[in-house]
Amino acid sequence: MARTLVLLLSLLTLPALANDLTVGWISRAPEIDYAWNSSNPRVEGWPAAGSTVTWRANVRSWFAEPKNVAYVWRLDGTVLERGVATIAPNATTAIELPMQWTFARHRLSIELDAPNFIAEESETNNTLEVVTDALSAGFWVEQSVYDYFREHQQDLGIGSTCWENWAQRIIELYNDIAAMAVYDDTPNGVLDRWRLQKIVIVPDGALPLVPPPNFKEMNGEPNEQTHPNMADRSVDLQFGFPASTLSAYFNTRFLSPSNPFAISPGTIHELGHARYLTDVYAFDVGHNPPARINDVPGVPLFREIYLTPERGLMNRNFTFIDRYSAVALNRIAGARATVGNYNDPENIASFLNDLPAQNRLTIRDANGNLMSNAQVDIYQATPFETDAWYAAHWDSTADVHLQTDANGQVLVGRSPFAADGRVINYWRGSNTTAIVRVEKDNVAHFGFLESRLFNLAYWRGDVFFADHALIVDAPPCANRAPVLRSPSWDAVVAGPQVTLKWNAAEGAISYRVWSAAAGSQPRFHGATTTGTEMTVTLDAGRTYWWVEADFSAQCQPVRSDAMRMDVQIRTRRRSVR
């Protein structure tokens, strides 16, 4: 006998031929609030080991009459339960599955109407899989947004019929890029996965349900999106979708991650803040008045703008997770929210001051020559001068005076970024990057020193002492990423041989091509190439690919955004004679 629970939701005026079912989200009951300021968030706020929890597949019906729907629950691909549930018309019905709670990771899925007995608008949105130990997210959406997605999602032509399907693509993309975030510091990628725990539909203008005390005081933040309901502690991440943002979704036919109606990976960036991540682009240096002012004398014009080479999610590249944020996420892997599940929580960027007790720079010029016996002046950014995000002023007076030894090395202490040693990156203040002037033989050279590098060294275990390389007068490299051309985003391509093409990156010497099947680790496709296309062998299924550009020795490799495609492989049938 199916166990069903009908959830009361606002009804919509449906199109005359509305006839769809979809698994909107899978929630877990009982809902448990995270423990505020918990000292053990990997246990507190989670169900007790061995206790019974109830998984609920929230099935949205767009039919005008009840439907008896066959379903099957699977755990790690093995059938757990089959049944038939009566799905209420124009509402959301929960199909329940009690299970014993364990902290071990499992894949739990439900599939509706597997025989396709019911004719629907889409037959591809009847299955949903979650990871049982995932962090939980809650989305609050105002009615006009919800209605618009119901009316227009089918315009994309990908089998998506409603706002719930779109919301799940955000969760899906995060889980994919988390698995692909493989670096030396994160050999297994980002460890946590996300699961959509609740979707709450509210009237237009209702958000935020509980406003923060400083509502919109910081250049429009916090707002209805960042704090839809700060009183709700049942989820680890929350985000709001007010009717005031509806115009952002009007381009309904452009299938690309840059079109928020299709994917909206920028939402993942904002949820990264809710998880405590900081904006990596704030490590940049440049003239952007009134927020960031550089008055350091002698800085060549072509170096007035320094771009951090750390590209990715918390910079401005939303289709992959940057190394810095990946390591920061793994520091709190498995932990529930502790001091806020909104953007931003009280522990935002709490990792910035994880710095080795002593740090040594080895300074070289752009040709690799040691800058021995050279004068070193460090210009620290002065924060809190302007009402702007990440306000910073590098004035004309050096704050630290040092000298390299015969090996081009100099000790800079724990934190050469501020007089009091405290690194900050927030509203009205950022001092994460220092400008370094090195004078040798009466010639001035300039470099940029990021506290990010000190954090990474600390997290690798260099708690007491760390070595760092600094190249002065290095060419600007971080803005030279290859641009992918084809296949385009979510293109359906015939495999297993697929030709990938990209535009050249200025100054690049060679390229390396990578791919990853959805949920899998990256795969390097052979040797480097000097061309701008490569034919590779891929398995069937949803696949991401990207390109790394190699430059001179003074530049780190610069990777492109990721592209996604659906690889289809047809097997030939042998004719019978």
pLDDT of 12 over the 60 cut: no
pLDDT of 496 over the 60 cut: yes
83-108 burial: b if 16+ Cβ within 10 Å, else e: eebebbebbbbbbbbebebeeeeeeb
8-40 burial: b if 16+ Cβ within 10 Å, else e: ebeebebeeebbbbbbbbbbbbeebebbeebee
* CA separation, residue 183 to residues 202, 249, 377, 456, 568 (Å): 41, 34, 33, 12, 29
* CA separation, residue 561 to residues 10, 49, 257, 538, 544 (Å): 39, 40, 10, 19, 10
Domains, the chain, in order of start with CATH, read: 1-36+46-133 (2.60.40.10), 134-277+313-350 (no CATH), 352-471 (2.60.40.1120), 483-568 (2.60.40.10)
Each residue's pLDDT tens digit, 72-112: 999 999 999 999 999 999 999 999 999 999 999 999 999 99
Each residue's pLDDT tens digit, 39-64: 999 999 999 999 999 999 999 999 99
pLDDT of 146 over the 90 cut: yes
Q: CA-based angle 306:308:314, to the nearest 5?
A: 135
Instruction: Assign 302 a pLDDT band (cuts: 50, 70, 90).
Output: low
Predicted local confidence at residue 479, as pLDDT: 76
Each residue's pLDDT tens digit, 515-526: 999 989 999 998
pLDDT of 498 over the 80 cut: yes
Q: What is the DSSP string of 263-322?
A: --THHHHHHHHHTT---GGGG-B--BTTTEEE--TT--GGGS-B--S--STTTT-TTS--
Task: Find the mean pLDDT for residues 490-511.
Answer: 95
Predicted local confidence at residue 188, as pLDDT: 97
Predicted local confidence at residue 204, as pLDDT: 98
Instruction: Assign 115 a pLDDT band (cuts: 50, 70, 90).
Output: confident
138-147, 369-378, 474-483: lowest mean pLDDT where?
Answer: 474-483
Asked if 144 and 242 count as a contact pair (C-beta separation under 8 A), the reply is no
Each residue's pLDDT tens digit, 307-357: 899 999 999 999 999 999 999 999 999 999 999 999 999 999 999 999 999
Count other Cβ atoms within 10 Å, centred on residue 5.
Answer: 13
Q: Which amino acid is at 351?
A: F
User: Which H helix or E strand runs over 544?
Assistant: strand 541-550
pLDDT of 300 over the 80 cut: no
pLDDT of 430 over the 90 cut: yes
Local structure of residue 497 (DSSP, 8 states):
E
Predicted local confidence at residue 526, as pLDDT: 86
